[in-house]
Amino acid sequence: MKSKKQILAKDKKFLWHPFTQSSFSEDPIIISSAKDEKLFDIEGKEYIDLISSWWINTHGHCRNEMVNSVFNQSKKFEQVLFAGFTHHPAVDLAARIVDILPKNLSRVFYSDNGSTSVEIAMKVAIQYWHNLGKKKTKFIAFSGGYHGDTFGAMSVGKTTGFYKPFEDILHKNFFIPFPEDWWGNNQLEESERLAINAAYKIVEKEKGKIAAVILEPLVQGAGGMKICRKEFLDKLVKIFKDSGILVIFDEVMTGFGRTGKMFATDHLTMKPDIICLAKSLTGGFIPLAATVFSEEIHKVFVDTNFSKTFLHGHSFSANPVACAAALSSLNLFNEDKTFIKIEEISKIHNDCLKKISKLQNISKIRKLGTIAAFDFKNISDSYGSLESHEIRKKFLENGLLLRPLGNTVYFMPPYCIRKENLINSYEKLIEILQ
Ligand SMILES: Cc1ncc(COP(=O)(O)O)c(C=O)c1O
């Protein structure tokens, strides 16, 4: 086995890590194994994965059931192109996904990551209108939303501030403020009113140009784990629905139990026309994404004229091994009684956040399902600030995998996390913050 020094030397020489400034980042941690909620580095130090490894791992690392399903499928066949071919895992998974989504969503298009699932949703929305003989190419999104790093996704997420170098070439879209809810926010109704008014104004003026609205329902992830009220979101979505604007829910982060229900849309009365799923779709095992459409949208692409075809595809679309992993992950929701675990995590969050609320320099405590967050007033709120970096380092030294977004500290653990490990992690965090 290679030594730590050798691995790091190679890493330094050949690799470029995501969202990382190599000039002042510490050496990356070399993970050599993982089990359930724990990651182990090459020297045996353990880390509690409190953010599900970038919000993807649901049932814990290296679950035997998932290992077996991936292994068994790999032995049968590992990959086949998905144009002109199909297979058991892809059709079974599509049927399972449709079964757990709102009734109107019934047509699955596979890709392999969250950004591509969003790109597909946006392209289909534009071509839907094109196929109907209309030119509608603009989108409405929330300020501060994040939908991925490809160009279409960047154009509806650019208010996150991540995309400065590309701003000039990003498609110009419309943005409405996101009314953040937190414990004790007494300005909430006013900020919801402003957001609703902003939506009315855009719709009134620009309706003829708008292909769709794209929203992270209830929780903005990368934008700072911000939460809005479901009553507000229902009201907002109704404005778009009443105006005939297509509604896309980007559930890449919120999907598969994170908000306490299978999907964030399950908290709402209004349903989207398109939904984007990725991250936890395979329980964090293998990259896979699905964009799911209503049949009304799909049928606009079915025509004897080839020009109406959706000419889009990815080499790894519907990879059978990834589909097998996703099926296994969905089975585990029943076998593990996952929603009971989710409920328990949610209760622990509540109890521990109450303790955190007593600390000085803490603000904007919020929680939904398995997602808990608060802001740390002492440090800069900009993403990647040195202070934020220092805090992350301190967490890691203490065996906690937490990755603050600017001054926002958040928890989003895998559902298998042992009660005592979650509670101990909060206790360590409180010590560190003090
Ligand atoms: C809501 C949302 N949409 C899209 C994406 C992009 O997903 P990916 O990183 O898999 O491209 C993310 C990633 O964090 C996300 O949180």
- Read off the amino acid at residue 178: F
What pLDDT sits at residue 1? 65
Ligand 1 pocket test: which of 146, 160, 286 has the largest number of ligand atoms within 8 Å of its C-beta? Answer: 146
CA 284 – CA 62 distance, rounded (Å): 10
pLDDT in tens, 144-196: 999 999 999 999 997 767 888 999 999 999 999 999 999 999 999 999 999 99
Considering the entire predicted model, what is its pTM? 0.97
Q: Which is it for strands 210-215 and 138-142: parallel, antiparallel or unpaired? A: parallel
Task: At 135, give phi and psi (nearest 5°).
Answer: -105, 105
CB 263 within 8 A of CB 275: yes
> Cβ atoms within 10 A of the Cβ of 313, count?
15
Atom of ligand 1 nearest to the CA of 278: 10
Q: Which is it for strands 46-49 and 400-401: parallel, antiparallel or unpaired? A: parallel
Which residues form the pocket of ligand 1, taking CB atoms under 6 Å from any ligand atom? 113-115, 118, 146-148, 216, 221-222, 250, 252-253, 278
CA 42 – CA 148 distance, rounded (Å): 31
CB 213 within 8 A of CB 147: no
Delimit the domains of the chain by residue range: 4-59+337-433, 67-333
From ligand 1's centre to the CA of 304, what distance in Å? 35
What pLDDT sits at residue 314? 97
Atom of ligand 1 nearest to the CA of 251: 1
pLDDT tens-place values along the chain, 434 residues long: 689 999 999 999 999 999 998 888 899 999 999 999 999 999 999 999 999 999 999 999 999 999 999 999 999 999 999 999 999 999 999 999 999 999 999 999 999 999 999 999 999 999 999 999 999 999 999 999 999 999 999 999 977 678 889 999 999 999 999 999 999 999 999 999 999 999 999 999 999 999 999 999 999 999 999 999 999 999 999 999 999 999 999 999 999 999 999 999 999 999 999 999 999 999 999 999 999 999 999 999 999 999 999 999 999 999 999 999 999 999 999 999 999 999 999 999 999 999 999 999 999 999 999 999 999 987 777 777 888 888 999 999 999 999 999 999 999 999 999 999 999 999 999 999 88
Nearest CA to ligand 1 atom 16: 253
Q: Which is it for strands 46-49 and 138-142: parallel, antiparallel or unpaired? A: unpaired
Write out the CATH class of domain 67-333.
Answer: alpha beta
CATH superfamily name and code, 4-59+337-433 = Aspartate Aminotransferase, domain 1 (3.90.1150.10)
pLDDT in tens, 95-132: 999 999 999 999 999 999 999 999 999 999 999 999 99
From ligand 1's centre to the CA of 253, what distance in Å? 7
Tokens of 290: 């699905």
Q: What is the per-residue DSSP string for 3-35? A: -HHHHHHHHHHH---TT--TTTPPPPP-EEEEE
From ligand 1's centre to the CA of 274, what distance in Å? 16
From ligand 1's centre to the CA of 157, what distance in Å? 11
From ligand 1's centre to the CA of 153, what distance in Å? 9
Tokens of 245: 């604007």
CB 215 within 8 A of CB 248: yes
Ligand 1 pocket test: which of 53, 162, 215, 253 has the largest number of ligand atoms within 8 Å of its C-beta? Answer: 253
Instruction: Provide the CA 223 distance to its chain's centre, in angstroms.
Output: 11
Atom of ligand 1 nearest to the CA of 117: 4
From ligand 1's centre to the CA of 119, what distance in Å? 11
CA-nearest of 155, 74, 56 to 324 is 74
What pLDDT sits at residue 426? 98
